[in-house]
Amino acid sequence: MKDMRFAIRLIAMIMAALVLFVAATYVITIHINGDRWINRANNTRLRDAKKTTVQGSVYDSAGVLLAGSSKPGERHYISDERTRRALSHTIGEQTNMSATGVENFHATTLLGFTTTRTGYTLQRLQGQDPVGNNITLTVNAELTRYIADSFKDWKNGAAVVINYKTGAILAMVSIPNFDPANMDLAVQDTAYYNRVLQKRYAPGSTFKIITLASALTNDETIKEEQFSCSGVWNYGEYSLRCAGSKAHGEMSLVQAFADSCNVTFGSIAYQLGAEKLRGTAENFGFNFDFSFDDVIVNQSNCLNKGEKSTDLIQAGIGQGTTEVTPLHMAMIAGAIANGGDMMEPKLIKKVTNPSGFVISEMEPEVFLHCLDEDTSRDIAKYMYETVRGGTATRAAIKGYEDGYVCGKTGSAEWTNDKTRETNAWYVGFLYGDSAHPYAIAVVVEEGGSGGAEAAPIASKVLKKAIELDVY
């Protein structure tokens, strides 16, 4: 009998623990994903609210009106079509096709769901339509349009500029785009897809930043080592080649990085081993389920689908199963520039109610501490040498003397079809310029060489950002 009572108590305790676990999980999930759920396109409450509420306005960081309403059910956008298109993935639209746009992901704020019920009731009693809250973004409309215009008409891709001290997204462009004011026009199937936040590309040689960080962290002597490259490294039944099978010969680690030697960095990854390389990548946010307040960012992956030697070597040069979003790559570059601290990305500068009262303002937050300051300073020097005399010379900014341009190029294979061009990458930052702490990532789909295609875009964009003095 005692055994039976004990068993019953034990079962009751287990059941109670399970109930508490499920309840706690539900509360945590609601806290993390509540905004994502309520802003879904099939939320009838949102659709109904748009018919009865004057949605709040959206402004860029300079105060330019990007989207506004004068009555319920109406929405108008900035008059210039090129600017509208450049900002389309940032602003969003009214049909909820663009899940990451502010009009969609922050619809509850624009509709005033965050406004007190007292204010809502007073508006109704006074015979007024309820009015939502206004949002001022961190992005600059002029810089965003400039970036879009920098892409050749026949090339798709993405570009993003961030303030690596605050995490503010200063501009982001995804191509192809769409026109939120003319949604009836035919668009490409992928036009609503925000490549900056959602598309996971093979990073190619830009990932050598991570491989370098892992090497410097785990091997105190590697900075003094000499490496040898014959243009190809045969391992097992596979071969790893440098671009054009170019033999780099004898070189230092900094030279191997600046010249983007695949043989050297593939062999470094092999020597490090999967555990160490993956550990460094995860310190930079790989294999992490991002859940930010302002933006939806897809997870980046590294060595979480296999650990064979081929996977490891390919990961060392940013190929194989390694994949990353452009925003995450800009955050990685920003962390190097910021002494090892990666800031949480921010898109909302402030929210004000219809009376102009500030409800909330952006507060910078450290998202991850990726590595120590000394190592990040070493990597910044390697990236500076890459711009000064390596593969990224076309990223240099003529006449720029307030800091240093640091960067890394990449030419990433994305298909087994050798007739197709590689995706062209550039990631980098302005170093030592406290007035312009900018980090950037550019990817040109099928652009070929990162040094020839992506680096010049980055140079022009950063120069324009300095001229505009965006912050």
| pLDDT confidence band for 223 (50 / 70 / 90) | very high
Give the integer Cα–Cα distance in Å for 67 and 134: 10
Global confidence as pTM: 0.90
**What pLDDT digit, counting tens, does each position of 42-86 carry?**
566 777 788 889 999 999 999 999 999 999 989 999 999 999 999
In this structure, of 110-124, 375-389, 450-464, the range with the lowest mean pLDDT score is 110-124
Please answer whether residues 100 and 112 qualify as being in contact, where contact means their C-beta atoms are separated by less than 8 angstroms: no
Q: In this structure, is residue 18 part of a structural domain? A: no
Higher pLDDT, 123 or 259: 259
Could you give the angle at the alpha carbon of 209 between the alpha carbons of 207 and 210, nearest 5°? 75
Q: In this structure, is residue 39 part of a structural domain? A: no
Please answer whether residues 388 and 428 qualify as being in contact, where contact means their C-beta atoms are separated by less than 8 angstroms: no
Please answer whether residues 89 and 296 qualify as being in contact, where contact means their C-beta atoms are separated by less than 8 angstroms: no
Rg (CA), the chain: 25
List of residues 6+ apart from 158 with CB closer than 8 A = 172, 173, 174, 175, 195, 196, 199, 326, 441, 442, 443
pLDDT at 201 over 80: yes
Could you list the beta-strand ranges (E) of 95-231: 134-137, 157-163, 169-175, 226-229
Q: Indicate the average pLDDT of the chain.
A: 90
Higher pLDDT, 262 or 1: 262
**What pLDDT digit, counting tens, does each position of 162-175 carry?**
999 999 999 999 99
| pLDDT confidence band for 2 (50 / 70 / 90) | low
Q: In this structure, is residue 281 part of a structural domain? A: yes
Domain limits at 323? Answer: 204-344+368-468
Please answer whether residues 53 and 72 qualify as being in contact, where contact means their C-beta atoms are separated by less than 8 angstroms: yes
Higher pLDDT, 23 or 247: 247
Neighbour count for residue 114 (Cβ, 10 Å): 15
Give the integer Cα–Cα distance in Å for 328 and 349: 20
Reading across the β-sheet that carries 348-352, which strands appear in turn? 76-77, 65-68, 58-59, 134-137, 348-352, 358-361
| pLDDT confidence band for 129 (50 / 70 / 90) | confident
| pLDDT confidence band for 309 (50 / 70 / 90) | confident
Closest C-alpha to 278, from 333, 338, 321: 321
Could you list the beta-strand ranges (E) of 283-356: 341-343, 348-352
* 315-334: average pLDDT: 97
Q: In this structure, is residue 149 part of a structural domain? A: no
Q: In this structure, is residue 351 part of a structural domain? A: no
Q: Which two tokens stand for residue 348?
A: 């909302």
What phi and psi, each to the nearest 5 degrees, are found at residue 180? -65, -20
What pLDDT shows up at residue 43?
62
What pLDDT shows up at residue 126?
60
Neighbour count for residue 124 (Cβ, 10 Å): 12
What pLDDT shows up at residue 36?
46
| pLDDT confidence band for 140 (50 / 70 / 90) | very high
Quote the DSSP letter at residue 11.
H
What pLDDT shows up at residue 165?
98
Domain count, the chain: 1
| pLDDT confidence band for 9 (50 / 70 / 90) | low
**What pLDDT digit, counting tens, does each position of 375-433 carry?**
999 999 999 999 999 999 999 999 999 999 999 999 999 998 988 999 999 999 999 99
What does the buried/exposed string (b/e) look like for 411-440 if buried means 16 or more CB atoms within 10 Å of the residue's CB?
A: bbbbeeeeeebbbbbbbbbbbebeebbbbb
Portion of the chain with pLDDT greater than 90, in percent = 76
- Give me the CATH number covering residue 260: 3.40.710.10
Please answer whether residues 255 and 263 qualify as being in contact, where contact means their C-beta atoms are separated by less than 8 angstroms: no
Q: In this structure, is residue 407 part of a structural domain? A: yes
pLDDT at 308 over 90: no
What pLDDT shows up at residue 30?
36
Closest C-alpha to 397, from 335, 464, 454: 464
What SS3 class is residue 281? helix
List of residues 6+ apart from 76 with CB closer than 8 A = 67, 68, 69, 70, 181
**What pLDDT digit, counting tens, does each position of 353-374 carry?**
998 999 999 999 999 999 999 9
pLDDT at 29 over 60: no
What does the buried/exposed string (b/e) look like for 381-400 if buried means 16 or more CB atoms within 10 Å of the residue's CB?
A: ebbbbbbeebbbbbbbbeeb
Residue type, 437: P
**What pLDDT digit, counting tens, does each position of 256-300 carry?**
999 999 999 999 999 999 999 999 999 999 999 999 999 999 999
| pLDDT confidence band for 123 (50 / 70 / 90) | low
Q: In this structure, is residue 11 part of a structural domain? A: no
Portion of the chain with pLDDT greater than 70, in percent = 86
| pLDDT confidence band for 31 (50 / 70 / 90) | very low
Number of residues in the chain: 471
Q: How far apart are the first and last CA of the chain?
A: 74
Q: In this structure, is residue 6 part of a structural domain? A: no
What pLDDT shows up at residue 20?
60
Alpha helices in 39-87 (DSSP H): 44-52, 81-86
Give the integer Cα–Cα distance in Å for 208 and 72: 51
* 30-41: average pLDDT: 46
